[in-house]
């Protein structure tokens, strides 16, 4: 009974689409990211405050807020002329971890990416177990680095990592991180993402209130048939 009352008293944590009214959180966000990178010993992709502020102003960032308290953050970036998107800079402060916030933030950044660039491939380069799990739940599949973007500005982000020499030595073919890709033309990716996002109707409502209907999580009939035909032909 006490436990039930305690749960009821926990303040609600909201996942919001960031805008210019949130730029005052940027210093705290960057300090939290830097402190977490130090603990993980991974080094860090360079992010300056102006860049992160700009993400908020452009509607490409997501915040978790407990009242006015900062409870989490992530943003989206496009590469290769918007053919690829990443969800980046995911951070949840220590005091808010283990409550499913990273998952809710990922629902929002992923949905935002799908809504704004429905044709783009969404990828991730990570060594974090939590992020790998979240990516898998959203329909990403492990891929070789050759299937990720060639955009130089993306790979520059790796220069601050302690393992950058590995990436250099292997001509950008291998490193400690795992590459993962969500392909919007792959029905398996779409089905997994839909299953995951159906768990969080508030996320869909938030995106649709601002940007209109989400793209479907099924391929158009013609493309589905083509794929089905291809699979059938494998068994002939
Ligand atoms: C990684 C991080 C964002 C997770 O935040 P969180 O709010 O505690 O995560 P959630 O509670 O939403 O958990 C998401 C999933 O990851 C799993 N997970 C969380 N932390 C984990 C960890 N350290 N190791 C393995 N799995 C983990 C959870 O079990 C959960 O899976 P489930 O939904 O199937 O149960 C947070 O620990 C953090 O900010 N770390 C430092 C920064 C960082 O590593 N960012 C990622 C950069 S690649």
Q: Give the model confidence (pLDDT) of 49-72 as tens digits.
A: 999 999 999 999 999 999 999 999
H helices, E strands: number in the chain: 10, 7
Q: How far apart are CA 145 and CA 108, in angstroms?
A: 25
| More confident of the two residues 199 and 227 | 199
The number of the ligand 1 atom at minimal distance from the alpha carbon of 97 is 8
214: Cα separation from own chain's centroid: 17
Query: How close is the Cα of 131 to the center of ligand 1, in Å?
Result: 6
Q: Look at residue 228 in the predicted model and tell me its pLDDT.
A: 75
Q: Which residue among 43, 77, 102, 178 has the greatest number of ligand 1 atoms within 8 angstroms of its CB, and so is best to mutate?
A: 102
* Token pair of 61 as six digits: 């960032």
Query: How close is the Cα of 130 to the center of ligand 1, in Å?
Result: 4
Contact 47, 33 (CB under 8 A): yes
Q: Look at residue 79 in the predicted model and tell me its pLDDT.
A: 97
pLDDT of 3 above 60: no
Q: Which residue among 130, 157, 179 has the greatest number of ligand 1 atoms within 8 angstroms of its CB, and so is best to mutate?
A: 130
What is the set of domains in the chain, with CATH numbers? 8-234 (3.40.630.30)
Cα separations in angstroms, 118 against 1, 5, 37, 183, 219? 46, 43, 31, 10, 12
Q: Which of 134, 129, 115 minimizes the C-alpha distance to 76?
A: 115
Query: How close is the Cα of 198 to the center of ligand 1, in Å?
Result: 20
Cα separations in angstroms, 54 against 131, 156, 159, 198? 24, 19, 22, 30
Contact 77, 85 (CB under 8 A): yes
| More confident of the two residues 178 and 11 | 178
DSSP code of residue 214: P
Q: How far apart are CA 211 and CA 60, in angstroms?
A: 12
Q: Look at residue 1 in the predicted model and tell me its pLDDT.
A: 44
Q: Which of 5, 4, 21, 22 minimizes the C-alpha distance to 74?
A: 22
pLDDT band of 45, cuts 50, 70, 90: low
Nearest residue (CA) to ligand 1, atom 27 = 130
pLDDT of 217 above 90: no
Q: Which of 97-111, 171-185, 217-231 has the lowest mean pLDDT?
A: 217-231
How far is the first Cα of the chain from the last one, in angstroms, to the nearest whole number?
A: 61
Q: Could you read off the pLDDT of 109-166 as tens digits, one per residue?
A: 999 999 999 999 999 999 999 999 999 999 999 999 999 999 999 999 999 888 999 9
* Ligand 1 residue neighbourhood (C-beta within 6 Å): 36, 40, 90-92, 97-103, 126, 128-131, 133-134
| More confident of the two residues 100 and 236 | 100
């Amino acid at each position: 009974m006490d436990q039930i009352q305690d749960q009821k008293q926990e303040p609600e944590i909201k996942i919001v689409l960031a805008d210019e009214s949130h730029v005052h959180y940027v210093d705290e966000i960057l300090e939290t990211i830097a402190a977490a990178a130090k603990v993980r010993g991974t080094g860090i992709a360079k992010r300056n405050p102006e860049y992160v502020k700009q993400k908020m102003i452009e509607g490409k960032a997501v915040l978790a807020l407990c009242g006015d308290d900062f409870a989490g953050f992530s943003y989206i970036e496009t590469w290769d002329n918007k053919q690829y998107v990443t969800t980046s800079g995911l951070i949840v402060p220590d005091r808010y971890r283990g409550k499913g916030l990273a998952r809710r933030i990922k629902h929002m950044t992923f949905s935002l990416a799908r809504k704004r660039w429905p044709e783009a491939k969404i990828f991730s380069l990570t060594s974090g177990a939590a992020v790998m799990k979240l990516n898998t739940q959203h329909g990403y599949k492990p891929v070789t680095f050759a299937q990720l973007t060639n955009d130089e500005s993306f790979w520059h982000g790796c220069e601050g990592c302690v393992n950058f020499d590995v990436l250099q030595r292997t001509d950008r073919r291998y490193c400690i991180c795992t590459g993962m890709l969500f392909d919007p033309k792959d029905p398996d990716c779409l089905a997994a993402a839909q299953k995951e996002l159906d768990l969080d109707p508030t996320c869909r409502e938030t995106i649709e209130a601002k940007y209109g209907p989400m793209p479907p999580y099924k391929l158009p009939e013609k493309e589905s048939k083509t794929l089905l035909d291809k699979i059938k032909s494998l068994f002939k």
